[in-house]
Structure 1
Amino acid sequence: MKYSYIIIDDNHESTKETKKIADGFCELNCLGLAGNYFDGLNLTLEKKPDIIFLEINPKNEESNLSLEIINPIHHFLKIVPKIVVTTSNKDLAFEAIQYDVLDYVLKPVTRFHLNKIVSKLNKIKEAQRLANSIDGEYGQAKEYRSAEDDDAMLGHAKKPLMLCIKSYGDYRYIDSRDITYFQADNNSTDIHLNNGEMITAFKTLKYFEGLLSYPFVRIHNSYIVNSDCISRIHTGNTVCYIKNTTIKLPFSKSYKVNIDFIIWQIASGNYLEI
């Protein structure tokens, strides 16, 4: 079985050594190297590797490498790569377990370490294959589904996310495409719609951040924005402009990588820069 990987590490020498060992495995294919948080996240989202070898205790603090990079990866990718922490610091192992990493390897990375990792991945892949095989046996009736049924199911899958704000028997349904941004208000969240209406939900902004995926992106301690509703991003003034309104939402340095991702995502579409 073949597995693609990237290395995110600000130590050039250890990166070179890890890659040298990995190159000795026909099962492993390197897709790229990165030396800081932003480049590592960008490379992950662009290449979508099977494995990330991640340093979480960098030599240079400005590289911002830590376990925190795992959160946006989960947020932006449907299929999350397996994370293998490679570090010289054994004290972060317990914290890494909380992030459900595949393995925690103390440097230097050896052939023995990679043998274990490849074996783990093979077992996971085989378990998935067996599970899919069982599902296939019980799902043979699907082969007889009519084309009309297929179209109906595809149509259902394409339906946008519908939010229901429930309060004392009152069910308020909101099409996610109508939401421009979420704004924190202590332990509740104000949901702003493109028609100017505002609805309050008695959930925290962090709750919505964990629930929603792209195009909804956290840009500030107080804001989650619908990226499809952004008309302008001014990185100098650290603000986003909302389409067809005079609303400007601030973004903070701690969420700058999310702003960079929005810019990258927009540029990856049908795009012309002048």
Structure 2
Amino acid sequence: MNLTTPLTAPLRVIIVEDMISIRQDLEEFFQQQPDFIIVGACSTVSDAIALIHNTKPDLLLLDIGLPDGTGFDILEQITEKVKVIFLTAHSQYAIQAFRYGAIDYLLKPFNELELMEALQRVINAQPLLREQIAITLHSFRKKKVQDHIALRSQDFVKIVKLKEITYFEADNKYTTVFLNAGNKVVTSKPLKEYDELLSETFFLRTHQSYLLNEFYIDRYHPKGGIIYLKDGTQIPVSERKKEIVDQYLKKL
């Protein structure tokens, strides 16, 4: 199984995983991939930091839970710019943190197709920004809603405050995020993912294609099924969402 976009030069990879069987499976997988070279594999935070300093990898596959810390501890202590895919068992807080930081992850156990899809995404991404790491760490450690989010497009990552977002609009597998300054970002994630991530915040799903920020609501016309934002933007309210919207707005 090869990448749909072959690389001009192989990516140098370090695997940090404390389960021997998973680490061996990953090493065997990458040995069959001409676009990647394993430059090291280990099972602890301390060994990983030393390996990263010595080998300067392009990509890290990081387990969350390690004997002497977490994969996040590694990212905090290195200065090298790298791409990252986290490896984790199901964890509500970890997954939420990854989504806030727009960081790729795989849930264990995973299969080769899932791994290849993650690799395909990550080769087109830029190395992690320090802001992405900070957002992810804050969300994971505090186990609470974050006030910033990383928006990843095909070409860049933009860090914004949640309160700066006026609304999200679905565009097939992509989502356009509209900001209060009049700018917008087309992200490579579906609206469903933002809806799930922001379900406990001040965002309201009014339609299968729209998720809006309550702070920018000006007025609601129930008969017409339209919410007007303060800048005049009209957001539709679908029939199946009307009762939810009515109850939500009564609480404001």
- TM-score > 0.5, shorter chain as reference: no
TM-score (norm 2): 0.40
The structure that has the greater radius of gyration is: 1
TM-score (norm 1): 0.37
